[in-house]
A and B are shown apart, each in its own frame.
Chain A
Amino acid sequence: MGGSPLLRAFLVVIALLALLAPLRTLTGRRSETATLVKQAAQSLTAKNKVRLELTSTTVPFKYQITGGGKTIWSGESNSTTVATDAELNFPPEGIDLVLDASWNEKKQTAVKLALIPQDSDMMAKTIWGTTSVSEVLTFQKEK
């Protein structure tokens, strides 16, 4: 690999320029495809941003929120209120969420699940249990 350093630098620049066009085409296509996939997914799911707040009068408590057969949120809390943000399908017909919660102490306990969608008022449901609660809760935005 002989030759002057100037010649070698020139050859490297030529090689890079030759690669520039195909690289640009490849990366451009990829980002376009990604955008299309993202748009399609958004139109299919049409999810809404919703804040979930869970309150239990007994702590610590374990909880699991399920929607559409999938776990949306689960955990264990030492404080009476926990919150998270989620993206949920919220059709005009409403949404069913399964709330399961349990605690160690045998004590009448109220568990409240509140939903605060970005585009409407807060909706909340409260259920009672002695050592656990397990119920399907229906939330519907006011028309």
Chain B
Amino acid sequence: MTIFKGFVLPILFGATATLSANAAETLKIASFSTVLTEVVQKVGANHVNVAGLVKPGQDPHEYQPTPSDLTQAADAKLILLSGKHLEHYLDKVQQATGAKAESLAVGDDLPTLKMKADPDEPQDKAEADQNGMIDDPHWWNSVANVEKATIIVRDALIKLDPDDRADYEKNARGYLAKLEALDSWAKRKVAELPRDKRKLVTSHDAFQYLAKDYGFKIYAIEGVSTETEPSNRHVAELIDDIKSQQVKAIFLESSLNPKVSREITRETGAKIGGTLYADGLGAGDGMTYEGMVRHNISTIVDSLK
């Protein structure tokens, strides 16, 4: 009994204390972006406890936070958002969290490409500038942007937890090296496709950032949002473009109804080149960012060759 009191009990108490200290030291993060969920997990590793509220395969344009999601966001020390006006439910999140947690709209610190606002979409109308343009929110389709996002997330973690700075820097370096290798691979793969064949017809306008990085011209079946249907006039114009540009293939998107795309292939004779991950991570190959990019680039290049 003396041994128990003098030796075992202190060990047990010590272990419990260490465990609760570790749990307390772990940063709670809520992420509203599948790509940022991966980034913060890679950079934060065992120092973070991440709740990915938008799940892989979920359409971020249509996502609405559940009460449980808002509770998890309210409990977090850092809330990661895609930004560029993608989170139209932001006021709900801010109300629920009482602005206690730090919100970081990562995309807002990245270069912006503009796109035509959908006049039938109230949110687009509200956000459009005087030329009828809105920010394109799909920044993650550029590997270079995800590299920049990694640095933004790293710096946010260091600010919240400066004691573990060395770990965050080391983890970010490792992840950045993988992203650089991925970008080099993508450039070499795209180089297999002559520049005059880089015409990308997709089921919604989500690949401007990819197009800019790798020299593609975009013909989108829809505007920025997956919530709206394309007009007959837009579809007719697109059919003319596909025919005159001799586009070999058009691409579907994993979180979108492919009905219109299939109709266009019937009219033009172009084939369905495959399904792309446009709105972030998804099932299958797209479970990781690297898998998503490799799938998208290979599908595009191999179909248009």
Question: Is chain B a partner of chain A in the same complex?
Answer: yes
Interface of A is mostly: strand
Query: Is B195 in contact with chain A by the CB < 8 A criterion?
Result: yes
- On whether the beta carbons of A91 and B191 are closer than 8 Å, the reply is no
| Interface 9-mer from A4-12, A13-21, A92-100, A112-120 | A92-100
Chain A residues with CB under 8 Å of B187's CB are: 136
Q: Which of these, A69, A91, A97, A136, contacts B196 with CB under 8 Å? A: A91
Interface size class for chain A?
Answer: 10 to 19
The distance from the CB of A85 to the nearest CB of chain B, in whole angstroms, is 20
Q: B215–A98 contact, CB under 8 A? A: no
A66 at the interface (CB under 8 A from B): yes
The residues of B that contact A93 with a CB separation of less than 8 Å are 195-196, 198, 215
* Interface residue from A92, A136, A138 paired with B188 (Cβ < 8 Å): A136
Query: B194–A91 contact, CB under 8 A?
Result: yes
Which B-chain residue is minimally distant from A89 (CB atoms)?
B194
Q: A92 CA to B192 CA in the complex, in Å?
A: 17
Closest to A69 in B: B192
Query: Is A60 in the interface zone, CB < 8 Å from B?
Result: no
**A92→B191 contact, CB < 8 A:** no
Complex CA distance for A134 and B305, rounded to whole angstroms: 23
A66 CB contacts on chain B under 8 angstroms = 191
- B190 contacts chain A at the CB level, 8 A cutoff: yes
**Residues on A with beta carbons closer than 8 Å to the beta carbon of B193:** 68
- Closest A residue to B184 by beta carbon equals A134
Interface hits, A95-143 → B, CB 8 Å: 95-98, 134, 136, 138
Nearest chain B CB to A39 CB, angstrom units: 20
Known contacts A98-B188, A136-B187, A136-B188; is A68 also within 8 Å of B215 by CB? no
- B164-198 contacts to A, CB under 8 A, are 184, 187-188, 190-196, 198
Q: What does the 1/0 interface line of B67-92 toward A look like (CB < 8 Å)?
A: 00000000000000000000000000
Do B190 and A92 have beta carbons less than 8 Å apart? no
What A residues does B196 contact at CB under 8 A? 89, 91-93
Once A136-B187, A138-B215 are accepted as A-B contacts, the answer to whether A91 and B195 lie under 8 Å apart by CB is yes
**Contact between chains at A94 and B191 (CB < 8 Å):** no
Across-interface contacts of B190 in A (CB, < 8 A): 96, 136
Q: How far is the CB of B192 from chain A (nearest CB, A)?
A: 4
Contact of A95 with B188 in the complex, beta carbons under 8 Å? no
CB distance A136 to B191 under 8 Å? yes
- Docked complex Cα distance between A92 and B305 (Å): 18
**Residues of chain B in range 190-212 having any CB-CB distance to chain A below 8 Å:** 190-196, 198
Given the complex of chains A and B, what is the CA–CA distance between A98 and B192 in angstroms?
Answer: 9
Specify which of A69, A96, A98, A134 is in contact with B195 (CB 8 Å cutoff).
Answer: A96
Residues of the A chain whose Cβ atoms lie less than 8 Å from the Cβ of B192: 68-69
For the complex, what is the distance from the CA of A89 to the CA of B190, rounded to whole Å?
A: 16
Give Cα A139–Cα B193 distance, bound, in whole angstroms: 14
A92 to B194, CA, bound (A): 11
Instruction: Give the complex CA separation of A96 and B188 in angstroms.
Output: 9
Q: Which residue from chain A places its CB closest to the CB of B193 in the assembled complex?
A: A68
Give chain A nearest CB distance to B211 CB in angstroms: 12
In the complex the two chains form, what is the Cα distance from A66 to B189 in whole Å?
Answer: 11
The chain A residue sitting closest to B198, CB to CB, is A93
Which residues in B have their C-beta under 8 angstroms from that of A98? 188, 191
What's the Cα separation between A48 and B105 when bound, in Å?
A: 49
Cβ contacts A68-98/B at 8 Å (1 or 0 each): 1100000000000000000001011111111
**B205-227 to A contact mask, C-beta < 8 Å, 1/0:** 00000000001000000000000
List the interface of chain B (C-beta within 8 A of A): 184, 187-188, 190-196, 198, 215, 305
Closest 3 CB pairs of A and B: A91-B196, A69-B192, A93-B195
What is the interface of chain A, defined by CB distance below 8 A to chain B? 66-69, 89, 91-98, 134, 136, 138
* Other A-B pairs, 7, CB within 8 Å; known A69-B305, A89-B196, A136-B191: A89-B194, A93-B215, A96-B190, A96-B195, A96-B215, A136-B188, A138-B195
